[in-house]
Amino acid sequence: MRARFEGEEGHRLLLEILKRHELVEHHNELALALAAKGEIVALTEGSVLIAQGDGTNHVFLVIAGECEILINERSVAKRGPGTSVGEMSFLCPESPRSATVKAIKPTVCLKLAEMDLRSLADEYPKLGMSLARTMAKRLREREKFHSTPNPLPVLFIGSSVEGLPVATKIVTGLKHDKILPRLWSKPGLFSPGGVTIDELLREVRDADFAVFVFGPDDLIASRGEKYQVPRDNVIFELGLFMGLLSHDRTYIVMATKSPIKIPTDLLR
């Protein structure tokens, strides 16, 4: 892909793309200055552009392709053409990288030294304003959508009181693994004096993964037949975690031959 942006025609294409970039906003002279200062970098799928914790401070403008942002190996965002990555080093050049940036398809970026970008921001105040807006947006996104994953992953374990023996065995089985199990079995979620939703939401925000123990806790009648089902608060917690933590980070544990009626709507 790098060849597309080399030579006279490639330079023209690069300038056209830069003019539409969120940091340039159709400023012709700024696009020319960035192209002159920057270095074209091509990445294959899976290549790491920035590694979390390292001391580099380059800023990259994404020209083509797509990158994934990962914090402690957890994907938190994606960046495509017209966006930038590594711009937080402009704010704190002495700080280590707070995230890893990896190409998820063949990608081309314009690499700029933090010092060169700072010099251009002094020369073109528009760039400084665009950088400030972009960094404020990134900080709001992180605050609103992406709590930083824990250094040691936290596993929320939800269970009824009856399912505690199984939940406790899960905790015991993980004692030698690099994961922090957090057992939750508080009854009365829906009772006036019971656990508040706010308390449960705090657990969601603190967790990286969740597992729920489904047991034959209650008996219900449905369409003339009786079924054993998990406790209603455990089902509620499962739905809450699937919605907020994501489906692929939420699991169910139950006996292989259990006659339990599963809430299939939650598992689709």
Residues 96/54, Cβ–Cβ less than 8 Å? yes
Domains of the chain by range and CATH?
Answer: 2-145 (2.60.120.10), 154-266 (3.40.50)
Task: Give this prediction's pTM.
Answer: 0.58
Residues 253/211, Cβ–Cβ less than 8 Å? yes
Pairing of strands 250-253, 218-222: unpaired
Cα 248 to chain center, whole Å? 13
- Proportion of the chain above pLDDT 90, given as a percent: 43
Distant-in-sequence, close-in-space partners of 9: CB < 8 Å, separation ≥ 6 = none
DSSP codes of every residue in the chain: -GGGGSHHHHHHHHHHHHHTSTTTTT-HHHHHHHHHH-EEEEE-TT-EEE-TT-----EEEEEES-EEEEETTEEEEEE-TT-EESTHHHH-TTSPPSSEEEESS-EEEEEE-HHHHHHHHHH-HHHHHHHHHHHHHHHHHHHHH-PPPPSS-EEEEE--STTHHHHHHHHHHTTTSS-EEEEE----TTSTTS--HHHHHHHHHH-SEEEEE----EEEEETTEEEEE--HHHHHHHHHHHHHT-GGGEEEE--TT--BPP-GGGT-
Q: What is the pLDDT of residues 182-204, one digit of tens each?
A: 998 655 444 444 455 667 778 88
Mean pLDDT of 110-124: 90
Other C-beta atoms closer than 10 Å to the C-beta of 233 total: 21
Give helix 114-123 / helix 28-37 axis angle, nearest 10°: 160
Q: What is the pLDDT of residues 149-185, one digit of tens each?
A: 678 899 999 988 888 999 999 999 999 999 999 998 6
Q: What are the residues facing 101 on neighbouring strands?
A: 50, 69
Per-residue confidence band for 111, with pLDDT thresholds at 50, 70 and 90: very high
